Amino acid sequence: MTRWVNRLVDRPGRTDLHRYDKVVAKAATLEDEFRALSDDDLTATAIRLRDNAPSKFGADDLARVCALGREAARRALDQRAFDVQLLGAAGLLSGHMIEMDTGEGKTLTGAIAAAGFALQGRRVHVVSVNDYLARRDAEWMQKVYELLGVTVGWVDQHSDRQQRKDAYACDVTYASVNEVGFDVLRDRLRTDPDDIVLPEPDVVLVDEADSVLIDEATVPLVLAGSVEEDVTDHAVVDIVRRLELDKHYEVDPEARNVSLTDAGVDELERWLGVDLYSGADSDLLNQVNLALQAKALLRRDVDYVVRGDKVELVSAARGRIARLQRWPDGLQAAVEAKEGLASSPTGRILDSIVVQALIVRYSTVCGMSGTAVRVADQLAEFYKVETGRIPTNVPCIREDEIERLYSTVPQRDTALIEFVRTVHDTWRPVLVGTQSVAESELLADRLKDAGVPAVVLNAKNDADEATLIARAGERGRVTVSTQIAGRGTDIRLGNGTDGDQERVAELGGLCVVASGRYHTGRLDDQLRGRAGRQGDPGSSVLFTSLGDDLVAQNLPAVKKPAPADAEGRVLDRRGQEIVEHAQRIAEGVHLEMHRNAWRYHKLLDVQRNIVLEHRDTVLHGNAGLERLREQAPDLHTDVEEDVVEAAARQIVLFHLDECWSEYLAYMADVREGIHLRALGRQTPIDEFHRIAVDEFSGLLTDTYQRSAETFESATITSDGVDLGSLGLQRPTSTWTYLVTDHLHGVPEQNLAGYVGGRLRTSGIMSALRRESSS
């Protein structure tokens, strides 16, 4: 009855996975039978299941997969899968998202499910958040797969083309979401079918699903080429650096927009010796705006770090270096100039894809995370999957203390330092979660001053993360870390020696301390979940303040309650409600940004598929030549037909790729200013779609017009066609990176702030002032 009532009150996108309890019970009845088999017989049993697999597994088949996976793990890893792990595997095999707490064994659960899909005759990509986890999990689970007759491979950023092709040819392939996306982009520009590395997408099993599918859903993965010279004027950056906040420029309370004041406009025009808004030099105005954004909105050791001679972005969702990630070229160059560094190469975008579009290509999407249920409605909205929770194997006994709220950030930090010192004096291990690189280092220094040595884990030393996190449960250890999500390593109590785990448990286990709330409660839950794994004792407490960025950016004008004691601690319930409300607003803003970004990307994705479908017919056949022969039937008839066909194929592919790249660049420019259509009482998204449809309608026509001109002027010999001699040169090198999408929020949401800033910076007010004074 309780379960039935829970089903009625569940939010959209949630499901009850206890329907698979019978599958787990059936698997238990097969355990003795499979344990009696030799390794070869166990493998043969799995292969027989594969040979006779239906298109969709029934309950009995799921039970056999779970039982086979349990026995293979017992032999290969000396681990007998818990019932809850088999329940999770059954949920994944049925195409669901599952929520499993930290330390409950998601890696093995995912491996059993991936093997089950492979035994159905399907090809599986296990997608993780980074290369380290992809390789670690593939190598860790390899013997389990081998016992089940399933091949497994992995891909990372160091894999060459042949290694990638071999890995993707396996039944199960582990890779980071970035590497899969970049391989998709590279395959889309192949001119020889034999060079394609990726098979058709089938099943994707996503680890840390909410991080990949929600937090990074609209991050564009970009393939670029054709290096261009940097046009950033360092003198502009130097001049903008002299501007003063509130005197020359203003930043809105949410820290998403910056605008010049009248005094700032006058000062810049005097220094630069130009009229900024005359329209004579729009590029200079653009450089000023980018330099101002770099100065006022992007913070070193918060949004990015400088390592060596490079600016490296910090992932807000993970608190570590975002590999290969960059801002749009102009802003990236402005930040590099701000830091006195040489500009990194820029270039023309050849193609791009957002993570969400990458994932929805697969016919089956499933995944797992420690906090998936909190975004079940979003997973259902964007990916059409339901989410269910897997119970813990052992009841969680972690004690989550009441949040400690303070009036100001300094008061919060003072109380936090004293709390950590007190706990450390008992020799309990402590994990302190922070919001940024700068904050992690500041708190570590203050702890050191208080006599508490701390180890810091942040974006500057994330190469050591597995070791540092694994040791965070040692007796007397204090670890200060940025965002803990996706670290992929359990925190076990003690140092692994006999009796040490029990000694740390007797002290109370790991104590998790949070310095402020994150923009979403999911990340708070992930931090708390680092304590109390597998029935261990532990505790957690959040230290927050009414001066935290979360409150300042989302409820800047709210009236704050007075502190209740001399230390600045706020006991008034209204103060707690303010923080909770600010977090709900932040979650709503991020959801709307996701929805809005997807609305813009979705049409482009549909158009991209049209182009790719046509490209595929050209690449694998003679469609290009047939189309060109319609316009020039008598050309190149003195050359072997297969040679002409190959030449026509290369010509059409070149121009098709070129036209698509130009279209992307054009639509990127449209997107930048489309929100201004609201000033004319037009709906920006509708106008964007109208422009996109109109512009795209001529893309194939333009492609074949250019192709026909090239076909007519080209010299085709028995060796084919030399496009380079015609000035048609593909990039000599390409590179991949990610772009931070909507860095400062959704354009439409910022329109009011933009208009106000534009009025200030357009010179209108200055002109009116000068006119009235004369």
Determine phi and psi for 529, rounding to 5 degrees: -65, -5
Kind plus residue range of the DSSP H or E element containing 711: helix 699-713
In SS3 terms, 365-415 reads as EEEEECCCHHHHHHHHHHHCCCEEECCCCCCCCCEECCCEEECCHHHHHHH
In angstroms, rounded to a whole number, what is the distance separating the alpha carbons of residues 386 and 319? 28
Write the single-letter amino acid at 144. Answer: V
For the chain, the first-to-last Cα distance in angstroms comes to 82
How many alpha carbons lie under 13 Å from residue 511 in its C-beta half-sphere? 24
- Cα 2 to Cα 6, 14, 253, 393, distances in angstroms: 6, 16, 46, 20
Kind plus residue range of the DSSP H or E element containing 754: helix 751-761
In angstroms, rounded to a whole number, what is the distance separating the alpha carbons of residues 661 and 604? 12
User: Please, are residues 354 and 767 in contact by the beta-carbon 8 Å criterion?
Assistant: no
Kind plus residue range of the DSSP H or E element containing 433: strand 430-433
In angstroms, rounded to a whole number, what is the distance separating the alpha carbons of residues 711 and 705? 10
Other CB atoms within a 10 A radius of the CB of residue 160 amount to 8
Kind plus residue range of the DSSP H or E element containing 432: strand 430-433
User: Please, are residues 156 and 178 in contact by the beta-carbon 8 Å criterion?
Assistant: no
Tokens 């009011």, located at residue: 752
Three-state DSSP at 503 gives: helix
Other CB atoms within a 10 A radius of the CB of residue 562 amount to 9
Kind plus residue range of the DSSP H or E element containing 592: helix 573-619
Three-state DSSP at 538 gives: strand
Binding residues: 85, 103-107, 490
Nearest alpha-carbon partner for 306 in 328, 335, 286, 266: 335
Binding residues for ATP: 85, 103-107, 490
Q: Which two tokens stand for residue 173?
A: 């392939």
Q: Which two tokens stand for residue 106?
A: 């998601």
